[in-house]
Amino acid sequence: MLAIARQRILGQSFQKIRPAVSVLRSYSSAAKQITVREALNSALDEEMSADPKVFLMGEEVGEYQGAYKITKGLLEKYGPERVLDTPITEAGFTGIGVGAAYYGLKPVVEFMTFNFSMQAIDHIINSAAKSNYMSAGQISVPIVFRGPNGAAAGVGAQHSQCYASWYASCPGLKVLSPYNSEDARGLLKAAIRDPDPVVFLENELLYGESFPVSDEVLDSSFCIPIGKAKIEREGKDVTITAFSKMVGYALKAAEILEKDGIHAEVINLRSIRPLDRSTINASVRKTNRLVTVEEGFPQHGVGAEICASVVEESFAYLDAPVERIAGADVPMPYAANLERMAVPQIEDIVRAARRACYRSVPLAAAA
Amino acid sequence: MATAFSTAKFSTQPFPLNPTSTTSHDSSIVFARPTSQFLGSTRKFRLTSSSKFNLSRRSKTVVAVSDVVKQKKSKSSPSLLITKEEGLDLYEDMVLGRAFEDMCAQMYYRGKMFGFVHLYNGQEAVSTGFIKLLKQQDSVVSTYRDHVHALSKGVPARAVMSELFGKTTGCCRGQGGSMHMFSREHNLLGGFAFIGEGIPVATGAAFTSKYKREVLKEADCDHVTLAFFGDGTCNNGQFFECLNMAALWKLPIVFVVENNLWAIGMSHLRATSDPHIYKKGPAFGMPGIHVDGMDVLKVREVAKEAIGRARRGEGPTLVECETYRFRGHSLADPDELRDPAEKARYAARDPITALKKYLIENSLASEAELKTIEKKIDEVVEDAVEFADESPVPSRSQLLENVFADPKGFGIGPDGRYRCEDPKFTEGTAHV
C-alpha cells in the first residue's frame, strides 16, 4: 500500500504543471482538488510575493526545485537571493536563519527531513525559541522551520523519527502539523506571518495526496489560527485525536466504527504547541472516551500530554481509561512487514476505539 | 603537567620549529615567534616587534594588510596612531571594562551576583579596539564573556549591573543574566552560552545586512557584524561552517578570535591540531590576520582594515587576537592549571598600562587627566551598583511574560478563549 502511494506521489509530481493560484480560481463553481504539495508551494509563493523580507533557505530548495518539489518554480520567480541553496551545514545555516530573523528578516528554513534538524537543534531551541524570553521581548525571531517529519516508506531508522513531542515540549516554540491541503496552506501562511519561531511538521507521504478545497482556502489572505484544533468529524461515542497522516487513518477508522454503531469524533489537532486543550476536553466531556493517535515513539509523546491534560481537567467525565496509540517503541525497522507493524494502522485505531467503548460495564443494572 | 604535555607535543611536530634561534633563516618563517608564546612558561618570552607581522605574511592574502599595519607601527614614523580624543576615549572604555569586572567579582563574593560569571580582565584591548570603531547600527555577537562587549557597545553600566543582579531594570529585565546580554537599541545580539552558537547568528545578521542592501534595496545599508569567540570555539564545526558560508556569500562580517590560550582548563595546544587559528581563514578564501591582542592600538589598526573591508562589500575577515584572561574561566574556576609565570608575563603586558604609557610618552594626555578618568569610572561603577541594589526584583507575573512575541502562543484556555485574553493569566503580557 505504501509502495503504491509512493508511485502515485512521484507520478503526480511530474504531471502537475506549476499552477498559479489564479488558474485554479477561474473555476468558481466546483470544489477544487489540490495536493498538499501544491498547497505548500502556493502558500510560499504568495507569502514571498507579499513580503520581500520572506526568503527561503535549505538544501536543494533552488535549482533542484526542492527535494520533494515543494519549492518548485520559486527560484525562477524570485531569484537566487531569496531562494538560497545552502551547503550541507544544518547547524550553520539554521543559525544564519536565526541571526537574520533577529535582525528583521523572515526566513523559512527547510530541513530535508526533520531528522536532520537534530544537527541544528541547538539553534532551534537555544537561539530561536528562548531568545524572546532571554532578551525580555527585545528580540523576536519570526522564523519558520519546515520539512517532512515522521515515517516515510522504507527509509530506515535514521530517517523516520517523529519530532512533534520533542519540539512541543519547549516553551517559546510553536509547533504545527497540517493534515490536508487546507491545513497546509492556512497554517504555513499563519506560520510565516507569525512573529515567533514556528516548527512546521509536514509529512512526506501526504505531499502527493489531493484534497478538496473551497475558494476561501485559495484566497491569498487565507490563514488558520494557530492553537485551534479542528473537529474533522462529529461523533458522540468516542473521541479520537490525531495529527498529520494519522488524521486520515482516524477518519477511515471512524467509517469502520460507524458500521458497528460507534460514532467517533475525530479531532485534527493541527497545532501541537500550543495544544488546543479546550477543544479536546470539550469533546471528551461530550463522548466520555478518548483514543489518542500519533506516529511517534510512545514514551513522553503527544498522546501522553493529551492524556495528562484530560485527566487533569475532565477526569470525572471519563468512562474508560484513555487509549494511546503510538508507533512501536523501537527504532524504525527497514523490512516492509516490520515497518508496517511499527507504525499505527487503521486496524489498531479501530481496535483501540472498540476497547474504549466496551471497557465500561455498568456496576449496577442500568435502565 | 599541562605544560610538560605541550612541550612533548611540539617536539614531535613536523613544523620547522626552532624557538631558540632568532637569526637563522627560520626567523623569517613564522613559527619561531609563536612557539615561544604558545608554550608559555617553558620558553623564554621574546618580544620583537617585527616578527609579529611575519606571522600574517604566511597567509598570502593578508600581505597587504600586515604591511599597512607594519608601516604604521614603526616607532620612527612621525604620525601617531590616534588623536588625543580617541586616546582618552579608548582609555576610558578599557578602564570601564576593567573596573566593572573587578566590581563584579566583589559583588559575586558578597552574594549579590550568582550563577555563572565569566570575567574579561586582560582582554579589554580586543573589545575596545574593535567595538569603538562601530556605528550604532552595526551589530556585535558575543559569548558568555560578554559584559565588556556590552559596555563597549554602549549599553549603560547600570543596565548591565542590574541584569547581573537579576533585577527588573536590567537590560533584559533580569531574564537573561550574565551570559545572555541582549540589547536591541545597541544591536548587541547576545550573549550565548554554547560556544560556537553565536557565530552562525552573527553570520545571519551579516546576511541580513547584505540582503537589505541587495534585495530590499536599502542602498546605504552597510552594517557590519562582529562575532567574538575564543580559541576553543575554533575547533567547533559551526565555526568552519560559517567561515565557508560567509566567504561563499561575501558577507560583511569580521570573525574575531580572542585567543587566550585556555578553554577553562584545556590548553589550546592540547586541543588543536594546528594552533595557528588565523591560518584557517585563507583555507576558506578570506584573509586571516594575527594581531597582538594586548595592545589596543594594534588591534584598532587591524580592526579598521577588517571592518573597512566588510563595509566596502569585500567580504569577511578572520582576525586572531592573541590575548590573555587574568582571572579564571569563571568565578567558580580555581584556575590551578595555568602556570603563574605565564600569568605574570601577560600581566606585565596589561593593555591598560600599555595605553597609559603610550599616551603619556607621546604627550597625548597627562597623568592628571588619566586619573580624572579613572575616578569618573569608579563613580560610574559605584553608581551602577547602587542602582542595581535599589532596583526591584522582577514581579511574579513577569515569569510568564515574553515567551512569545505573539502572546496567543499560550493557546486556548478552558473557557475557549485565548489564554492571553484572560486578564488573570499575566499582567502586561509582551511588555517591553
User: Nearest residue of A to residue B184 by CA position?
Assistant: A138
User: Nearest residue of A to residue B239 by CA position?
Assistant: A92
Q: Looking at residues B258-272, what average pLDDT do you find? A: 91
Closest CA–CA distance from residue B269 to any residue of chain A (Å): 26
Pairwise CB contact (< 8 Å): B238 & A282: no
Closest CA–CA distance from residue A161 to any residue of chain B (Å): 24
Which residues does chain A have within 8 Å of residue B248's beta carbon, measured at their own beta carbons?
A: 87
Reply yes or no on whether the pLDDT at B134 is more than 60.
Answer: yes
Closest CA–CA distance from residue A184 to any residue of chain B (Å): 19
Question: What is the band of B347 on the pLDDT scale with cuts at 50, 70, 90?
Answer: very high
Whether A38 is a known active-site residue: answer no
Question: What is the band of A30 on the pLDDT scale with cuts at 50, 70, 90?
Answer: low
pLDDT > 90 in chain A, percent: 81
Reply yes or no on whether the pLDDT at B94 is more than 50.
Answer: yes
In the chain, the amino acid numbered B214 is E
Which residues does chain B have within 8 Å of residue A133's beta carbon, measured at their own beta carbons?
A: 175, 402-403
- pTM to 2 decimal places: 0.79
Pairwise CB contact (< 8 Å): A134 & B176: yes
ipTM score above 0.85: no
Substitution target from A57, A59, A96 for chain B, most B beta carbons within 10 A: A96
Tens of pLDDT, residues B12-21: 334 333 344 3
Q: Which of A55, A127, A279 sits opposite B197 (nearest CB)?
A: A127
Pairwise CB contact (< 8 Å): B204 & A95: yes
Pairwise CB contact (< 8 Å): B201 & A133: no
Reply yes or no on whether the pLDDT at B409 is more than 90.
Answer: no
- Ranges A43-47, B53-57, B159-163, B210-214: which has the least confidence: B53-57
Distance, CA of A180 to CA of A212 (rounded, Å): 9
Pairwise CB contact (< 8 Å): A89 & B241: yes
- Catalytic residue (choose from A123, A159, A294, A305): A159
Pairwise CB contact (< 8 Å): A87 & B241: yes
Question: What is the band of A166 on the pLDDT scale with cuts at 50, 70, 90?
Answer: very high
Closest CA–CA distance from residue A126 to any residue of chain B (Å): 9
Say what the pLDDT of residue B78 is. 53
Name the burial class of residue B334, with classes exposed (0-12), middle (13-18) and buried (19+) by CB atoms within 10 angstroms of its CB.
exposed
User: Nearest residue of A to residue B407 by CA position?
Assistant: A196
Question: What is the band of A17 on the pLDDT scale with cuts at 50, 70, 90?
Answer: very low
Pairwise CB contact (< 8 Å): B406 & A195: yes
Which residues does chain A have within 8 Å of residue B208's beta carbon, measured at their own beta carbons?
A: 99-100, 103-105
Which residues does chain B have within 8 Å of residue A99's beta carbon, measured at their own beta carbons?
A: 141, 189, 200-208
Reply yes or no on whether the pLDDT at A350 is more than 50.
Answer: yes
Which residues does chain B have within 8 Å of residue A271's beta carbon, measured at their own beta carbons?
A: 411
Whether A159 is a known active-site residue: answer yes
Q: Which of A105, A122, A313 sits opposite B211 (nearest CB)?
A: A105
